[in-house]
Amino acid sequence: MAVRKLQPETPAFTLLLTLLVSFGPLSVDLYVPSMPEIGRVMQAGSGQVQLTISLYLVGFAIGQIVYGPISDRFGRKPAIVGAFTLYGIATLICLFAPNIETILLGRLLQGLGVSGSSVVARAVVRDLFEGARASLQFSIMNMFMGLMPIFAPLMGGVLATYTGWHAVFVFQFCAGCATACAVLFCLAESRHGAALAPRELVHNYGVIARNPAFLANMSIGALAYSGLFAWITGSPFVLQTLVGLSPLGFSICYAAACSGFIVGGWLGTRLVVSHGLNAMAGTGASFCCIAGLCIVAAALANVALSITLTLSMAVYFVGLAILLAQSTAAALMPFPKQAGTASSLLGFAQQVAGAWGEADTPDFLAAIDHALSLGGLDGERLGITGGSYGGFITNWMLGHSDRFKAAVTDRSISNLVSMYGTDDISLVSFDPELGTPWENTDRYWELSPLKYVANVTTPCLIIHSENDFRCPMEQAEQWFIALKRLRQTVKFVRFPDESHGLSRNGGPKHRVERLQHTLGWFAQYL
C-alpha cells in the first residue's frame, strides 16, 4: 500500500521541512557538550577539538554551493536522500574513529552531507509558496526549529555525562536514517519541468549573483548569521573552560539562549502578513544590535557571565529568527525556476560572508595547534607570511596574536576604509559583504588590521609592488608608518614597475629578490 504524501499546508509537512533545515544545527548542538570529553579521550588540545566544529562548518559551506544545482537538475528528493547517505557514512566514521584526525575527517564529511537538507528545504518552500506566505512558512519553521537548540544540547549533555561521546554519533546516525526514510516515502517532489542542462546551471549562478534584491537580502542574512557562529564556536570553552560549567550546565545555558529563536519565530508568524517583509526585517535587525551591545557590556563587566551572556544571546536569537525568515523569503522570490541554485548561494554566503579575519583567525590558530601536536615542530619559532588576502590575514593575525616570531606581509591590506574605490576590486568585492564605507564606517574600520596595529610586537617585513592596483601601495605605506611610529621592528621593500602578480609573473630578477628578502627575514628572526 502506497504511503500518502504530505500536503503543503499541513502541520506534518511543516514539521518535516523544519527537521530538514534543523539537521545542520542539530549536528552541532548535539555534539558540542561532548567536545571536552573527546579532547580528553583523544588526547587532543582545545584547538584541535574546536577544529572539529570549524571543519564541519567548512563542509557545510561547500555543500551549500553543490546541492542547489543538483536539486534543480535531478529533483529535490534525490538530492536530500543523497545528502543523508553521505551524512550517515560520515557519522559512522566519527563513531568508530581511533583518533582526533579521523574525527576531523568525519566531521568535514558530515557537514558536506547534511548541508543538502537545509539547501533543498528552502528551495521546496520557494517551489510551493510566494511572498509573505513564504516568509510565514519560514517563520513557522524557525519557531519549531528553535526547539532543536534547546533539546539537542540537553540531550547531548545527558549523553556526554552518562553514556559517553559515542552515543552522540549513534543518535545522529539513527536520526539521519529516519529522516531520509521520511523524505523518501512521505515528501512529494516539488520541482516540476525538464531537468536543467549543466551549462544552464552554471549560468544561473551569474544571473542570481547580479540580482540587486538577492544581494541585499543575502548580505543582511549573512552578517546576522555570523553572530550565530561566534556563539557556536566560542560558547563551549567560555562557559565550560573559563566559567567552569559542567557539560549539563553548559547545555542548559545554551538551550536557554537558543529559546529566543522560538520567540522570534512566533513573532514572525504573528506579524509578517500584516506588517510586511521590510518592516519585520528592520525589527529583527534592531534586536540583534541591542543584543550585541549587551554582549560587549557583559564581557567587559565580567560579572555572572553564564547569566549575562545567555540572556544577551537569547535576545540576539529573537532578532535572528525574525531577520532570517524575511531575508530568506525576499532573496528567493525572484527565482521560481532556479530556487535550488539561489538557495545554495544564499546558504553559502551565510556561512562565509562578512567576517574578514574574525572567522579565519580561530581556524588558522587551531590548524597551527594541530600541526604542533603532531610533533617535529618548534612552537617557539613560528613565522607567518601571506600575499593579497593572505597579506591581510598576516596583518590581522599580528594584531590579534603574539605567537609569531617573524612575519612577511606581501601585497597586503591594512585599511579597508581608505582602500575602497582606490583599487580594482572593492566595488564588486566589498559591497556585497560590507556595503559602502560611508554607510558602514565602523564595520570597515573594525575589520581593518590597522585598527589593531598597536598590539603588534612581531618583526615584520613588508613587500609591495608600486603598480599594484588590486591592493594599492598606500596600504603598505600605512602599515609601515604605523609600525615605525610605534617603534616596532619593520622593513619595507618596494618593487618598481611590478604589479599585484609579482610572485607569479613579475620580472625574473625581482621574483628572485622577493624570495631572497623573505628567506633572509625568517633566517634573521627565527
344 plus 390 within the same structural domain: no
Q: How far apart are CA 468 and CA 425, in angstroms?
A: 12
**Sequence-ordered list of residues with C-beta below 8 angstroms from that of 108, at least 6 positions apart, any chain:** 55, 56, 58, 59, 90
Q: How far apart are CA 13 and CA 188, in angstroms?
A: 10
C-alpha separations of 467 from 34, 412, 500, 506 in Å:
52, 13, 7, 11
289 plus 418 within the same structural domain: no
pLDDT at 463: 96
Closest CA to 24 of 52, 48, 56: 56
Whether the CB-CB separation of 411 and 390 falls below 8 Å is answered with no
We report the CATH number of the domain holding residue 146 as 1.20.1250.20
314 plus 402 within the same structural domain: no
The label of the residue with cell 567536545 reads 35
C-alpha separations of 324 from 10, 63, 102, 230, 280 in Å:
22, 19, 34, 17, 10
348 plus 461 within the same structural domain: no
321 plus 424 within the same structural domain: no
68 plus 159 within the same structural domain: yes
Domain with 417 in it = 378-525
Query: Is there a domain that residue 367 lies in?
Result: no
Query: Is there a domain that residue 371 lies in?
Result: no
**Sequence-ordered list of residues with C-beta below 8 angstroms from that of 136, at least 6 positions apart, any chain:** 129, 268, 269, 272, 273
Query: Is there a domain that residue 163 lies in?
Result: yes
346 plus 443 within the same structural domain: no
321 plus 409 within the same structural domain: no
295 plus 416 within the same structural domain: no
pLDDT at 1: 45
Please give the model's pTM, rounded to 2 decimal places.
0.58
Sign of the CA dihedral running 342, 346, 347, 351: positive
143 plus 185 within the same structural domain: yes
Q: Which residues of the chain have pLDDT under 50?
A: 1
* Number of C-beta neighbours around residue 8 at 10 A: 16
Point out the domain boundary residue: 294, 318, 352.
Answer: 352
pLDDT at 383: 93
286 plus 435 within the same structural domain: no
Q: How far apart are CA 122 and CA 21, in angstroms?
A: 8
* Burial label, 383 (beta-carbon count in 10 A; 0-12, 13-18, 19+): middle
Query: Is there a domain that residue 361 lies in?
Result: no
**DSSP per position, 163-187:** T-THHHHHHHHHHHHHHHHHHHHHP
Query: Is there a domain that residue 4 lies in?
Result: no
Q: How far apart are CA 386 and CA 409, in angstroms?
A: 6
We report the CATH number of the domain holding residue 499 as 3.40.50.1820
C-alpha separations of 13 from 32, 264, 332 in Å:
29, 21, 20
Whether the CB-CB separation of 383 and 406 falls below 8 Å is answered with yes
Query: Is there a domain that residue 369 lies in?
Result: no
132 plus 214 within the same structural domain: yes
When divided into structural domains, the chain yields a total of 2
Query: Is there a domain that residue 357 lies in?
Result: no
Query: Is there a domain that residue 87 lies in?
Result: yes
Whether the CB-CB separation of 143 and 271 falls below 8 Å is answered with no
Please give, one letter per residue, the 3-state secondary structure of 502-522.
HHHHCCHHHHHHHHHHHHHHH
**Sequence-ordered list of residues with C-beta below 8 angstroms from that of 113, at least 6 positions apart, any chain:** 59, 63, 83, 84, 85, 86, 87, 88, 89, 90
Q: How far apart are CA 515 and CA 498, in angstroms?
A: 15
End-to-end C-alpha distance for the chain, whole angstroms: 73
pLDDT at 125: 81
Sign of the CA dihedral running 110, 116, 119, 125: negative
Whether the CB-CB separation of 74 and 195 falls below 8 Å is answered with yes
